[in-house]
Structure 1
Amino acid sequence: MPLLKTVAFVHTLLAGHVVAGARVIDATMGNGHDTLQLARLVGEAGHVYAFDIQRDALAATAARLGHENLQARATLIHDSHAHMLDYVSEPVSAIIFNLGYLPGADKSCATQANSTLAAVKSALTLLAPGGLLLIAIYWGHPAGADEKEALEPFVAQLSPEQYRVLKYEFINRANPAPYLLAVERFTN
């Protein structure tokens, strides 16, 4: 099998962890690609909670879900991922963060290190045993570099008795290539 680009690897990991009936979170819905993939995976009995602060993201995601008639499988939340605990209290089997800015939109409106770190900490409290937290980091812009500096040391210090942490990164690219931090909570 060839090495997968970061987003393809994310979807492969999600497919291996998310089963029909699962509850999951897309912490940064963007244009809805991850939300749609999660809605397919959770099936009719599952549910996706998707967050974004931009109305354009909610509209694009709603349209993408509507095209496949999957709107009922997702709750689209117009709020920061840092407030996910205000909306979700049940354990979830997967959480995806695709950091950066909304493709095709204002690049100055990007995820920020402080709110993202708070959201990741909240995500860990919601992650069910055996659950998977995926963080795609795009660090080729100033806000992304700040997120990289905040998130990587944080996940690196997570207890090895409770979590397995992976960094998936191509290291022979000239530009700062996006990479993935994957955190799996052990089943106790």
Structure 2
Amino acid sequence: MGRSYQITEYCHRFVKEYITEGDCCVDATAGNGGDTEFLCRCVGRTGKVYAFDIQKTAIEHTRMRLKEAGYIERSVLFQAGHEQMASYVEEEVSAVLFNFGYLPGGDHRIATRAKTSVEGVRQGMELLKKGGIMSLCIYSGKDTGYEEKEALLNFLKRLDSKKWLVILNCYYNRENNPPLPVFVIRLK
């Protein structure tokens, strides 16, 4: 099987090294359920995945996808913004995944925004256990704009390097504002 370099699959390959059976994880932007399904597979039968999305359609798509995959019992779905995740999750997590922007196939006017996204990342960092990882798929361009990307990168750049490792990747030879895969690791 060939390698895929779609941003979400690229991030999955990196993140799975940080998750073991029985872990708890968060999909901060459920969308159509791809990341939620991936996390459910990683945590196994004894693990748990919390998934958040503000759109009812996204939660419904995710629920159907998890039922079909046999993972619904491993998940807890919330129709709520990721900036509220600390109100719902009361345990440490191994991984937090974000896919910023809009719901694939959905209304492009309904998208993540700089202020709530930075707050969501901040709350995700508080939940992350030592040695845990956060994956951020950051999109920018005509539909999502640059404000969110710049706000997130400015926030991440100021993190204490003794406590956090931030790895910024890029699709260097692709045109039209390619997405940025970013990893934030809570150091031990």
Conserved 8 A contact 1:99-1:144: no
Find out whether 1:171 has 2:172 as its counterpart.
yes
Work out the number of aligned pairs and report it: 187
Return 5+ residue gaps in structure 2 as ranges: none
1:170: how far off?
0.8
Partner of 2:128: 127
1:148: how far off?
0.7
What is the TM-score when the length of structure 1 is the normalising length?
0.95
Deviations 1:124-159 (A, max 9, x none): 111100000111001123544111110001111111
Partner Cα distance (2:4, 2:82) in 1: 30
> Where in structure 2 are the equivalents of 1:9-88 lying within 5 Å?
9-88=10-89
Partner of 1:181: 182
Partner Cα distance (2:3, 2:42) in 1: 23
Matched to 1:139, the amino acid is S
Partner Cα distance (2:172, 2:30) in 1: 27
Return 5+ residue gaps in structure 1 as ranges: none
Deviations 1:83-106 (A, max 9, x none): 001101211010000010001111
Partner of 1:151: 152
Partner Cα distance (1:80, 1:18) in 2: 24
Matched to 1:22, the amino acid is D
1:81: how far off?
0.5
Partner Cα distance (1:94, 1:145) in 2: 26
Partner of 1:161: 162
Equivalent position SS for 2:119: helix
Partner of 1:140: 141
Matched to 2:160, the amino acid is S
Equivalent position SS for 2:135: strand
Aligned-pair identity in percent equals 37
Matched to 2:108, the amino acid is K
Partner Cα distance (1:12, 1:44) in 2: 20
Partner of 1:103: 104
Partner Cα distance (1:172, 1:68) in 2: 36
Conserved 8 A contact 2:108-2:143: no
Partner of 1:112: 113
What is the TM-score when the length of structure 2 is the normalising length?
0.95
Higher mean C-alpha deviation, range 25-34 or range 165-174 = 165-174
